[in-house]
Structures are given as structure tokens and as C-alpha cells.
Structure 1
Amino acid sequence: MKKYIFASMLILTAAFATLAELQVSKPSGERCILVIYDNAKVLSSIRSSLAHFPEFQSHMIAMADYEAGTIERCQATFIVNTEFDNQVPRRLVEDYLAAEKHVVWMGYNIWYLGEQLSKKLGIRYIGSLSKVRNQSCAYFYMGHSARCDDEGLSMQPEIVPTNEVRIEIMAESRTRGRELSPYVVRAKNLFYMADVNFGSVFQALLTEFVGSPMRVKTLKPQQVAGPN
């Protein structure tokens, strides 16, 4: 009788463990794109964008539920920050900095990278500007320009290159009549976009973000060379 009870307990334990794993829905291979979000309101827009890549499965994980190492499970990851100064899990910051796959940090809280922001991404955060959605706010990318639209963050993080590492400035912006500043930058496999906006700039650079073989064009971004 005791053996029967013990065996039954083992079966129930295994069943609960399997159920918990299914509920987490962890990505399970490179043919996937991971979205880590702090506000579920962005999910509809980003799902629509990722629908252009039907060969990849899409996985959505709330930032608070992120588990260390998950970034490396997919070919590309988007870390979407819409809440200003919201606490980002340390395990997520560390995984972003150590990532070998394509990872795009979007929007706020890039300052949580501390000194690694300059060492790994070659940029420095200097503040945030309120965007004015008219002709004084515009984006410049791939030889095109576009006015700021009603999407995106109300405050745009302002960054400047530090020349500590070689970066690609893939898009720039001009806000409130100020000088052009980087809007999307790339340092090898790490990206930063100073907004959460799934409009024309995001769509134009999406194949670069994902690293998809569906790429049509090779970008010719501005390069900022640091010391060897």
C-alpha cells in the first residue's frame, strides 16, 4: 500500500511539473522571436509587425516573469520598455549585455546598463526630451525622412555616441529643433531604439533586427569608429 501511495505521488508531481512548464510557454529553439514587455498594450502592434516572419514562432513574456538565459533561446529578442524608470530585472540586464543572439532594447530604462551602456553599445544617455509631433520632430533613416507620428513614447531618450566601440547609427531623429541625435544604433548583435514605435522606421529596420534571411537590402549606416 505504501509503495502504491508513493508511486501515485511521483506521478502527480510529474504531472504538475509538466503543467507548469506548459503554462510558462518557454521558447524552445532558434526559429523563434521573443518579446519581453512591461505593458501588454504593445503586444497587438508588435504581433502585427512580426507576422511578416511566419517562419518564426513568436513568444511573449512579461518582464517581471523573465528567467535568466531565455534570451539565448531565440534568434531575436525585443525588450520593450514603455514605463519610465520602471525597475528592470537584473537578470535581464545581464543577459542583454552578454547576448550572442540579436537583441533590441526599445524605449526607456536603458540607463540601467550603467557604465556598460558606453562599453557595450558605445552610447551615453543624457536625458529625455518631450516630443512635439509636428514638423519640429522627424526621423531620418535609409535616405528617407518621416515626421513623428502619434505612436511611441511621449518622452524620447536622448543619447550620444561615446566612441568607445564601433557602432552603426541606423536612424536619427531631430526633436524640438535640436541637432540630430541617434535614434537606432547597433553594436554587433545588440541594438537600441530610443522609442517604442512600430511605424516606418521600425518596419524598415525589422529584417536587420531579426537577422532574417528574408533581408532585401543591405543597409549602409553611418559608422562611428572607436579606438582599436
Structure 2
Amino acid sequence: MLLAGSFAFGSAPSPAPAPLKKVLILYDSAGESGWRGKLYGICLQNLLGHFQVAIESKAVENYLEGEMERFDVIFYIGAVYENKLPEPFKKDALKTDKTVCWLGHNLWQIAWGEDKKPAGKFENRFGFRFGGNSNSAYNLVLYRGYAFTRRSVNPGLGLVTLTDTGLARELATCLCSEPHSETPYIVRGRNFWYVADVPFAYVTMSDRYLVFADLLHDVLEIDHERKLRALVRIEDVHGLASPEKLVEIADLLRAEGVPFSVAVIPVFQDPRGVYNYRQPQTIPLSRNKKLVSALKYMVERGGEIVLHGYTHQWRDQPNPKSGVSAEDYEFFRVRLDAGGRQVLEGPVPEDSLEWVGERVGKALLELKSAGLSPVAWETPHYLASELDNRYFGRYFKLMVHRGIYFVDDGGTLRFSNQFFPYPIETDYYGQRIAPENLYCYAASAYMGEPPSTVPAMLYQARLNQAVRDGWASFFFHWYQDIRVLKELVRGLKNMGYEFVTLGSLAN
């Protein structure tokens, strides 16, 4: 008997894809600091974008009884000290067999009894005891033989003690230098994970945030290949860039066997003549034939083009510095306060889908006129409105920048500048993001960051080796000393990092 259908002899049917794990993020939202919970929830959602998971996120105050049973993994972010947690959530967290990962405050509400003393029920089930919070200056976290920083201004570290090592394991340890003491930083007891603070607060590039980023693989039970990869980007190439310098960079990186990307600003603007004897100056890329030839030479030598905004500045006024391309913001208003610190004011007045679409369209047209096409987008100084970022995520297959994420706190704009140690398939805005976690070489303070020297960058790269699929990604300005670039590239290669093409992440 023959049955009609599309059956190929000698081949087996493709296996159905495994269903996505379902993740629930719960965060504190009450009180004056409630904005922190939502913002940290966004940061966690972004890191989870490295994994194939389905995510739902909501305030813990809105938790419904039994709700966590619909999910495989539940994260609670204790961002507000002594936030009163719903009774259904506390009961479910104690009895569920689903994976629960508790970050930061308020563990006492399920780990202690009514007398506010450790309860045997919690301890017997999970194998560790919660001892309250410490405000001591715990400034280091040890993990896999690496020492990560923890800013001592970060208050409220949770103190736990393992009581049954058959049930519980200490996965990372927090140290206090003076007086010397140590306490578990991350503990797993059966299905319950505890992180002694919120790793999205007070983050630096050598931070314990990287420990959490690696252990997410184990929390989710989704492993990735242990492989170290690297990216290098040549930054802020515009109409005044030196073709000779670009050719020199291309030759160096080709000789080192290093693929690279080049962030191009299609139209250079100096509307007030800051660098042109007070005469306004506009230089479209396509009109600088020598520069276009140098960029095409870079592509031939292994370079890929990144579209770095349209003009990388706004109108004809400081935003916040000079109004000159590469120095100012393009998609967001920023001013300087009396102390010279940058203050974020909000989206530019004309911000809309039509406006951002027009700027992106003009930028692409100028690149096309020069015979170039981009593999990725980089937002100027990383900063744009949520509307703009969602547009970029829909229009471009890949971003290469850090992410800046906002929440509205009663009219005050709160934000987080988040870096990633590995690629993010989908962030809060719907963007696929290539990592950029070593920042850039800067002999002095740059863009509000402290000096970033070669030893400092290589040290950060060494810490990223603790992340099983960690990357080392940095940018380098075209006008800087090429010997520094050579030192960085060779240093990363000597650590075992393999440089790959940026475009490989866009597929």
C-alpha cells in the first residue's frame, strides 16, 4: 500500500526543535526606589537574550498564586530593601520544584520565621542559612580562580552559611579586605539559587557582574561551547580622517591575521567652524575620493563597514560639547552641568519614526554613493530614545555598541549603561548586539570613564576568560598610535582569543 506525501527515501525526518524554556522575571517596584527593580529587570532580560528562552517580566507585587508553575526558571530581583512581598509568592518560592534564582534583598521573608530568626524549614530544604545583611566593604568576588571587583559603596550584602553541603554548594565567594572576612556570594541549594546582591548595581568592567553572566548558563541549564573570541573596531572615521593612517591600520591587521570593522560617519559636520577658522564645514564621505579609496582598501584587507550614525552630532549647536561630528550626540539631548558632567535631558525635539528613518536613509544613501555597505549599526555615543532603538533593531540585523536603557521615575529619567561579555540575540529593544566590553584605549579619562590603558584592557580581557563563551571586544580611534593597537591585538591573541568577523554575528 502506497501513501501519498513528500517522503524522501534514505532520510530521516528532521527532529522537532526543543521547546523554549520559559523564564519569569519578578522585580520590586514599590516605594521611592521602585524604579531600580524595573531597570534591573531590563538588564537581566538583556543578559537572558544570550539564550534561547521565552521571557515574561512583571512587578513582584502583581504576582498571582501558582503563577511560577507555568515557568521553568523564576528570577526575583530584590532591589528594594524590606519591600513587603506577596504571601502567594513567598509560599510558592518555598514549595516549588522549579528553578528559583533570588537576587539581592528580602530573603529573610522566606528564610526566617515570624520571630525574624532563621527557620528550619528553609534551611532543611535548601541546605543554607540566611544571616541578615552586612554593610561591610566586601570588595572582591572570587570565582574560578579569578578575582572580580565589587564596589565597596554597594550596600547590603546578604550573609549566608552552608549548613548541609550535600544539598548546597558555594559557587562564588565574596571577600572583605579590612577587616578580613569572607562569605558566599552565590549559593545553590537544590533548585534554589541565591545571589548576595543585585549584580546590575554599581557595575564596572572588572565586576562580579561577569560571574553572574557566566553562571546564567547553569541556572538555565543551557550550556555553550567554551571558546574565546575577539572583535576590534576602528572608530569614528569621517571626512577628515587620514587615508594614510587607515591604510597603515589595514596593513597591520592584515599582517596579524585579524579581521576588523570600521565605524564610518557618512557626513562630517562642523557647523560653527570650531576646527575650520569659524567657517562652517560639511564633508560628505563620497566627495573625499582618497578617503573612499582607503576605506575600500580596508575592506579588501579584511575590514567590514559599520554605519555610525549620519552626522554623529545634532543641528548647529553643542550637544553637549562642540556641535562637531564624532564629539557630540546625534539622537539625544545632553548638556553639561556646572561641574562639566553630562546630564541626559531626553530625546531630541524632532524625534519620531519619520525623523529617525530619514536620518538612517540619508546615511545609507551616502554610504552607497561611496560604494560601501554596512554589516552593522553603531548608535553615536550609544545613546538614543527607546523609539529610535526599536527602529534600529527592526532595520539592522546587528548592532555593535553598549546598550543604554531607561525607566521613567516620576518624570526623572533613570538609566543603565550595560555592556555584554557575549553576543545578545535579542535585547529589551529587540536588537541583536555584538559585545563591546573592553571599551577603548584612552590614556586619559574619556566620555566620563577613567583612563583605559593597555594593561587595564588586557586585565579585563583576562577576567572575561572566566565566562565560558566570553568575548574580548574593543574599539580603537583611527588617529591613535598604531603601536598601541598592535600591542592590544597581540596581547589578546596570546591569551587565546581568536579574532572573528563582525559579520559572522549577523547571520
- Picking from 39, 46, 49, the partner of 1:41 is 39
Q: Quote how far apart the aligned CAs of 1:215 are.
A: 7.1
- 1:94 equivalenced with 2:91 (yes/no): yes
Q: Deviations over 1:6-62 (max 9, x none)?
A: xxxxxxxxxxxxxxxxxxxxxxx8622110000212122112211101x21111011
Aligned residues: 185
> What corresponds to 1:171 in structure 2?
172
Q: Quote how far apart the aligned CAs of 1:126 are.
A: 2.2
Instruction: Return closer, same or farther for 1:45/1:131 CA change in 2, 3 Å cut-off.
Output: farther
Q: Deviations over 1:46-87 (max 9, x none)?
A: 12211101x211110111100111212122110110111111
Question: Is the CA contact 2:108–2:132 (under 8 Å) kept in the aligned structure 1?
Answer: no
Q: Quote how far apart the aligned CAs of 1:142 are.
A: 2.1
Q: How does 1:147-226 map to 2 (within 5 A)?
A: 147-149=149-151, 153-163=154-164, 166-175=167-176, 176-198=178-200, 199-214=209-224
- 1:82 equivalenced with 2:79 (yes/no): yes
Of structures 1 and 2, the one scoring higher in RCO (CA 8 A, sep 6+) is: 1
> What corresponds to 2:70 in structure 1?
73
Q: Quote how far apart the aligned CAs of 1:160 are.
A: 1.4
Q: Deviations over 1:131-166 (max 9, x none)?
A: 53xxx6100112222111489x52111111223862
- 1:127 equivalenced with 2:117 (yes/no): no
- Picking from 39, 51, 56, the partner of 2:53 is 56
> What corresponds to 2:463 in structure 1?
none
Q: For the residues of structure 2 that align with 1:212 and 1:69, how far apart are their CA atoms?
A: 25
Q: Determine helix, strand or coil for the equivalent of 2:197.
A: coil
Q: For the residues of structure 1 that align with 2:91 and 2:132, how far apart are their CA atoms?
A: 23
Q: For the residues of structure 2 that align with 1:215 and 1:33, how far apart are their CA atoms?
A: 22
Question: Is the CA contact 1:121–1:165 (under 8 Å) kept in the aligned structure 2?
Answer: no
Q: For the residues of structure 1 that align with 2:124 and 2:172, how far apart are their CA atoms?
A: 21
The AA in structure 2 aligned to 1:34 is L
Q: How does 1:111-122 map to 2 (within 5 A)?
A: 111-113=108-110, 114=112, 115=119, 116-122=121-127
Q: Quote how far apart the aligned CAs of 1:97 are.
A: 1.4
Instruction: Return closer, same or farther for 1:150/1:59 CA change in 2, 3 Å cut-off.
Output: farther
Structure 2 portions without partners, runs of 5+: 1-18, 29-36, 113-118, 201-208, 228-507
Q: Determine helix, strand or coil for the equivalent of 1:68.
A: coil
Identity across aligned pairs (percent)?
A: 24
Q: For the residues of structure 2 that align with 1:86 and 1:100, how far apart are their CA atoms?
A: 24
Q: For the residues of structure 1 that align with 2:220 and 2:151, how far apart are their CA atoms?
A: 24
Q: Quote how far apart the aligned CAs of 1:214 are.
A: 4.0
Q: Which has the larger radius of gyration?
A: 2
Q: For the residues of structure 2 that align with 1:142 and 1:164, how far apart are their CA atoms?
A: 19
Q: CA RMSD in A?
A: 2.4
- Picking from 142, 145, 148, the partner of 1:146 is 148
Question: Is the CA contact 1:118–1:164 (under 8 Å) kept in the aligned structure 2?
Answer: no
The AA in structure 2 aligned to 1:186 is R
Question: Is the CA contact 2:162–2:169 (under 8 Å) kept in the aligned structure 1?
Answer: no
Q: For the residues of structure 2 that align with 1:212 and 1:51, how far apart are their CA atoms?
A: 12
Runs of 4+ off more than 6 Å: none
Q: Determine helix, strand or coil for the equivalent of 1:180.
A: strand
Q: How high is the TM-score relative to the length of structure 1?
A: 0.73
Question: Is the CA contact 1:30–1:73 (under 8 Å) kept in the aligned structure 2?
Answer: no
Q: For the residues of structure 2 that align with 1:80 and 1:209, how far apart are their CA atoms?
A: 15
Q: For the residues of structure 2 that align with 1:188 and 1:139, how far apart are their CA atoms?
A: 22
Q: How high is the TM-score relative to the length of structure 2?
A: 0.34
Question: Is the CA contact 2:127–2:163 (under 8 Å) kept in the aligned structure 1?
Answer: yes
